[in-house]
Amino acid sequence: MEINSASNKGTAINVRGMIKEKKRSKSITSVIETIMPKLLLAIATISILTTIGILFTLLTETVEFFKRVSIFEFFTGTVLKPLSKTPEFGVLPLITGTVISSIIAMAVAIPIGLMTAIYLSEYASDKVRRMLKPVLEILAGIPTIVYGFFAFTFVTPLLRAFIPGLEATNILSPGIVMGIMIIPMVASLSEDAMSSVPNSMREGALALGSTRLEVTRQVVIPAAISGIIASFVLGISRAIGETMIVTIASGSSKNFTFDITQSMQTMTAYIVEVTGGDAPAGSTIYYSLYAVAMTLFVFTFLMNLLARYISRKFREEY
């Protein structure tokens, strides 16, 4: 009887300990549950405040620039000579260089990236896909400054062998290399969009006698078109905002031209030039940096809005 009494007493002590431990862990969990939403809110608020701070800085400095230079002259002027005795601040040469380099980049990235995505999604075996996708992603991990030197020291001399009139710094070479850099983005996002198409749609089309190419062209691509187009738009946005490749390989000539063999400057390259130059704070050329940055911000913002609109407009849910 004494043994049973001692055993019951020991069991009661263990149960009490378990209850206390449970209450302690429950209180810790409740504290974590209380703190985590506030911590996440603080992190989200920091990102929002950072964005507001960037916009505020851009707007205030851009307004100061337009107090000195006519907004009409800025957006319609074809001459950019910020350091001359009679400075001119036409942004069209920079916009032209940015748009042309982006068009060249997407002319390279869209067909290669889309064909790569089609192969990975519709034709490659699981073994080949597991091998090729990491190799493709390596391109996305290469620093852009390496791409810039690759364009300047390899691609440009190679192109000059076929295009004798090509200048040492030009817009064609960095445009091509930017396209190579963007291929992983277009291929990965497009492949994800095509892989999300249900296999039942493919099997149904194949059962009706369609070939695999017909299934890809008439079933898979139309069903995944929103994701594919969104990848194109995001790729263009990435090309517009690229800095180091065009800074190294396209030169600093502020030419208003559509000749891709000539040296041109993009908006990002101009920002790098002014930032690293001798422009004193408070000067007109200093404030032009912010006006160009604001123009670039509007460009990329509109491209992102377009990508979101296309994704929502043509999105298919299965």
Tracing tokens 């930017």 back to the chain, one arrives at 178
Given this model, what pLDDT does residue 23 score?
59
Q: How far is CA 201 from the centre of its chain?
A: 31
Given this model, what pLDDT does residue 104 score?
93
User: Could you tell me the residue ranges of all domains in the chain?
Assistant: 1-68, 80-313
CATH architecture of the domain 80-313 equals: Orthogonal Bundle (1.10)
Residue 114 in tokens:
């889309």
Name the 3-class secondary structure at 91.
coil
Rounded Cα gap, residues 61 and 286, in angstroms: 9
Question: Residues near 38 by Cβ (< 8 Å), separated by ≥ 6?
Answer: none
Q: pLDDT per position in the chain (318 positions), as tens? A: 444 554 554 555 565 656 566 656 666 677 677 787 888 888 888 888 888 888 888 888 888 888 888 888 888 888 888 877 788 888 889 999 899 999 999 999 999 999 999 998 888 888 888 888 888 878 778 888 899 899 999 999 999 888 888 888 889 999 999 999 999 889 988 888 888 888 888 888 888 887 888 888 888 888 888 888 888 888 888 888 888 888 888 887 888 888 888 888 888 888 888 877 667 777 888 888 889 999 888 888 888 787 777 777 766 655
Q: What are phi and psi of 170, to 5 degrees?
A: -150, 175
Tracing tokens 């929502």 back to the chain, one arrives at 312
Any long-range contacts for 75-82 (C-beta under 8 Å, 24+ apart)?
A: 78/256, 79/254, 79/256, 80/254, 80/270, 81/254, 82/274, 82/279, 82/284, 82/285, 82/288
Strands 80-81 and 88-89: antiparallel
Q: How long a stretch of residues is the chain?
A: 318
Name the 3-class secondary structure at 66.
helix
Q: 265 near 252, Cβ under 8 Å?
A: yes
Tracing tokens 């062209």 back to the chain, one arrives at 217
Given this model, what pLDDT does residue 19 score?
59
Burial class (CB in 10 A: 0-12, 13-18, 19+), 67: exposed
Question: Residue 292's CB: how many other CB atoms inside 10 A?
Answer: 25
pTM of the model: 0.81
Q: At what angle do helices 284-313 and 225-240 cross, to 10 degrees?
A: 170
Given this model, what pLDDT does residue 85 score?
78
Rounded Cα gap, residues 96 and 100, in angstroms: 6
Given this model, what pLDDT does residue 110 score?
92
